[in-house]
Amino acid sequence: MGRVRQAEKNIFFGYIGNIIIMIMGFLQRTVFIMVLDKTLLGVNSLYTDILSVLSLAELGIGSALNYSLYKPVAENDQEKIKSYMRLYKRAYMAIAGIIAVVGVVLIPFLPYLITDSKGVAGRELILYYLIFLFNTVSTYFVAYKYSLANAQQRGYIQTNIATITKIITVFAQIIILLATKNFLLFLLTQSAVELAQKIFVSIYFNKLYPYLRERDVKKLGKEETGVVVTKTKALMFHKIGDVARMSTDSIIITYFMDVGWVGIVGNYTLIITYAVNFIGVIFNSVISGFGNLVATESKEKQHTMFKVYRFAACWLYGFAAVGFWLLLTPLITGIWLNESWGLGQIVLTLMLVDFYLKGGRTVLVNFKIAAGVFEQDKYLSLFQGAVNLVLSIIGIQYIGLAGVYVGTVVSGVLANLIQPVIVYKNCFSKKAWSYFADSAKYIGVIACIVLFLIPVKALIMVQVNLVTFIVMAVVITLVYNMIFFLLFHKTQEFSYLWNLAAGRLPFLKKIYH
């Protein structure tokens, strides 16, 4: 099955899965807020981020090994696949042990982090934390099994399993919440379902790839192991920087403000994350396709495809950013919950600037992963993480919550300036001037659209209700996409995407030639 066909299959199941997970997530969070309180919601988000920090133990081994699998998978070299998978398994078993030990060591420090738990006993906080730790550690016993399917562009397997698990988990947790109003049972229910899922995954992949159970596995050569080690060392810096940049906001907010604010911010980040996942389905589904592209096509062909997907990323992430800037607060405070769950427009603006910048880097990062370009910018993520931590800690003390996201935006801008230069030099042997010119063009268009829509919103949403919200959403959709179409429909990037869509949906050929 070709690259495009496999990508289409991954995208289809990815969208189905994301829609279901989004609905389930909203349903679960709504019931949680109705039954429990902001403190426990904040604790839930905080522990998730703490365990993300602990996942530093993975240090990029997964990405390095996935990259190494592309070639043997393309050549159907089962012996080499077995060797890499054994290395992957041993590495992840060690990682699980490290996370378990470090996680337990951190327990005495929890009371210093959550200084105002508002009636939640210290013993309960520790018990909740241990459940989160168990969920994280147990994941590593099966996570490596997905790598081979993903390298074969069969990411839909992981998506479908995650979707079914989410449905079962949410319905079970809602029943538990409504029946008992007990946060501990809520967490235990999730653990039980996910443990059953991990057992199923282990059995399923053993049957899907029976040759991986064979004992006669050859040891990788020094050169092959050296490649994995070299790329893992580089990815270690990326991992540390990414965690320092993206998984520390909740910890900083909890320490300097209140754990309840983590729950408020979490409502916004929940919806934004759904958008990231929804759009990311397209780009994450083609990573392994990019890997095949790098292995088989010329640099000029690679650059052409890079520009196509980069254009799509800017269009889609820009659309989401504009919609969120105008509608996210009305959705949360006027339709879903109430004014007490709102954030200021400045904080939201900073969050969405980072959202768009991160979206613009999506294709860069995915192409780097597919091409194995890890070493060249290994210190960048580390520097970003340091900048984010310093600016966020200083900022929150002087300007409050917005200060946390000033650090996030500034550190993100650094990557948007440096990564394109590295990718263009090492992947395409080109200067990155055209990339920056396109960036300025896309940002300028998006800014003009926002300025046009602000007075339109003032006219339509005099009162916030479901009708005015839907009308404004339709207006944003029509205006944004019509402007992008009018300005870019003659570009090579748009033509490629349109022809690709028209090949699957013939009626599109009648609309535009």
Give the other-Cβ count within 10 Å of 118's Cβ. 14
Average pLDDT along the chain:
83
Model pLDDT for residues 272-310, shown as the tens digit of each residue? 988 887 887 777 666 556 666 666 667 788 888 889 889
pLDDT band at residue 65, thresholds of 50, 70 and 90?
low
Return the DSSP state at 376.
Answer: T
Instruction: Give 278 or 344, the one with higher predicted confidence.
Output: 344
Model pLDDT for residues 351-378, shown as the tens digit of each residue? 999 999 988 888 888 777 777 676 677 7
Contacts of 449 (CB under 8 A, 6+ apart): 322, 479, 480, 483
The single-letter code of the amino acid at 241 is: G
Query: What are φ and ψ of residue 114, in 5° steps?
Result: -100, 85
What is the average per-residue pLDDT within 46-60? 64
- What's residue 147's pLDDT? 78
What is the average per-residue pLDDT within 427-448? 93
Angle between helices 378-399 and 249-256 (to 10 degrees): 20
Most confident residue range from 5-9, 222-226, 373-377, 429-433? 429-433
Model pLDDT for residues 258-282, shown as the tens digit of each residue? 878 888 898 998 899 888 878 877 7
Lowest mean pLDDT of 372-376, 451-455, 508-512, name the range: 508-512
HSE-CB at 47 with a 13 A cutoff on CA atoms is 22
Distance between the two ends of the chain, CA-based, in angstroms? 28
- What's residue 123's pLDDT? 84
The single-letter code of the amino acid at 231 is: K
Q: Show the 3-state SS of 168-226.
A: HHHHHHHHHHHHHCCHHHHHHHHHHHHHHHHHHHHHHHHHHCHHHHCCCCCCCCHHHHH
Can you tell me the distance from the alpha carbon of 233 to that of 239, in angstroms, rounded to the nearest whole number?
Answer: 10
What is the average per-residue pLDDT within 439-443? 95
Model pLDDT for residues 323-342, shown as the tens digit of each residue? 999 999 999 999 998 888 99
pTM: 0.78
Model pLDDT for residues 25-37, shown as the tens digit of each residue? 889 888 988 888 7
Residue with tokens 């839930």: 44
pLDDT band at residue 509, thresholds of 50, 70 and 90?
low
What is the average per-residue pLDDT within 122-142? 87
